Amino acid sequence: MKVVHSPLHARHDGGKELHRGELVPCFEMPSRADFILQALRREGFAVGGPREFPLESLLRVHDAGFVEFLRTAHAEWRAVGKEGFMLPSGFPARSLRRDHIPAGINGKMGYYAFDASTPIVEGTWDAALAAAHCALTAAAHVVEGERGAYALCRPPGHHAGHAVYGGYCFLNNAALAAQYLRDHGKKRVAVLDVDYHHGNGTQDIFWERSDVLFVSIHGTPETEYPYFLGYADERGAGEGEGYTRNFPLPRGTAWAEYVTALDAALDTVGGFAPDALVVSLGVDTYEGDPISAFKLETRHYPLMGERLARLGIPTVFVQEGGYAVEDLGSNVAGVLKGFLARG
């Protein structure tokens, strides 16, 4: 299986996130990608770089003003004499205006962001763009006939919506891959999100569409981030009604209960009979994860990969979360090896 990786991910570094009332170094750190890359190389995976894509490929799933904001945000910040990382401190929640984008950088940042966990640094755009190109390249490999491909995306993407960023995510890598598959002959595409956190951004992007099924298994938003989306009664709207399916699970969920939800999610995906599958592969379901509360063990990830392979659908794996940095490599490699073991 081809692995797509860009060293530009490392440019997204040096910010801090708001965590339990304090600014702390980001859990989403560059060494995450280094550990994954190292493990995949050790397992003999072939690693290649991303291809180039026109900026318009991003606009297939994202708003133009939003993309322009991300591209220029840190330069604007510096232009008004500020330095270091950017975090918003005010948001257009409920009773505030959402029909106007403030001219100043602080207001603009609050308008496009939905949390204070997602700093923008000088290199954020370069890294986010490279991650998007990794996902698009992996999708291209599958369009060109590969049974599976893996995009080592960093920063992750599944919390980024059509015109909103947050949850360590800026551009929605998985949604870009899914849309690329749609634009290159795959008539029905499913996205299965197994990250511990609900993929609110991907759900937002495909909410009203029946050509892209979105299925997510995650910690219940009653207690878990992102809190305001990912409930079981969210099922899509308009044309897309019935094409979003959520499987929220309680804190403490271990493999025995997890696998029941996984099988139900896989049945939903199989019932859709997609021509291609995108897996939003977060491994923060791991028992050792510092910000999550499921209890999956390293030995369970190959079992997940095998079950995914049983669907028999060409699959693009897109890296999302996972913060137990030193164990990321074995867990990610486990999923991919499990997938490959089942021919």
Query: Which sequence positions are flagged as catalytic?
Result: 159
Instruction: Find which of ligand OKP, Zn ion, none residue 327 binds, CB within 5 to 8 Å per kind.
Output: none
CB 59 within 8 A of CB 16: no
148 binds Zn ion (CB under 5 A): no
* Binder of Zn ion out of 161, 230, 321, 338 (CB under 5 A): 321
Closest chain position to Zn ion (CB): 321
* 17, 115, 193, 195: residue in contact with Zn ion (rule CB under 5 A): 195
196 binds Zn ion (CB under 5 A): yes
* Residue 19 interaction partner, one of ligand OKP, Zn ion, none, beta carbon < 5-8 Å per kind: ligand OKP
Judged by CB under 6 A, which of 15, 282, 288, 302 binds ligand OKP? 282
Residues 168-187 that bind ligand OKP (CB under 6 A): 168
Burial 115-140 (b: 16+ CB within 10 A, else e): bbbbbbbbbbbbbbbbbbbbbbbbbb
Which 78-117 residues touch ligand OKP, going by CB under 6 A?
Answer: 117
Q: Choose the stretch contacting Zn ion; rule: CB under 5 A; options: 7-15, 80-88, 93-101, 196-204.
A: 196-204
Binding mask 284-313 for ligand OKP (x = CB under 6 A): x------x----------------------
The helix (run of H) or strand (run of E) holding residue 290 is none
- The single residue among 6, 15, 17, 192 that binds ligand OKP, judged by CB under 6 A, is 17
DSSP annotation string for 84-96: S-B-------TTS
Q: Report yes or no: 130 and 6 within 8 Å, Cβ to Cβ.
A: yes
Stretch that binds Zn ion, among 39-47, 114-122, 195-203, 326-334 (CB under 5 A): 195-203
Please list, in sequence order, all residues whose beta carbon lies within 8 angstroms of the beta carbon of residue 303, skipping any fewer than 6 positions away: 255, 259, 338
Indicate the SS3 state at residue 228. coil
Site string for ligand OKP, 130-169 (x = CB under 6 A): --------------------------x--x-------xx-
CB-side exposure of 70: number of CA atoms within 13 Å? 29
Residues 266 and 259: their CA atoms lie apart, in Å, by 10
Using the 8-state DSSP alphabet, how is residue 207 labeled? T
**What is the widest separation between alpha-carbon atoms in the chain?**
57
Residues 201 to 240 in contact with ligand OKP, rule: CB under 6 A: 225
Tell me how far apart the alpha carbons of residues 326 and 23 are, in angstroms, rounded to a whole number. 23
Binding site for ligand OKP (CB under 6 A): 17, 19, 117, 156, 159, 167-168, 195, 197, 225, 282, 284, 291, 320-321
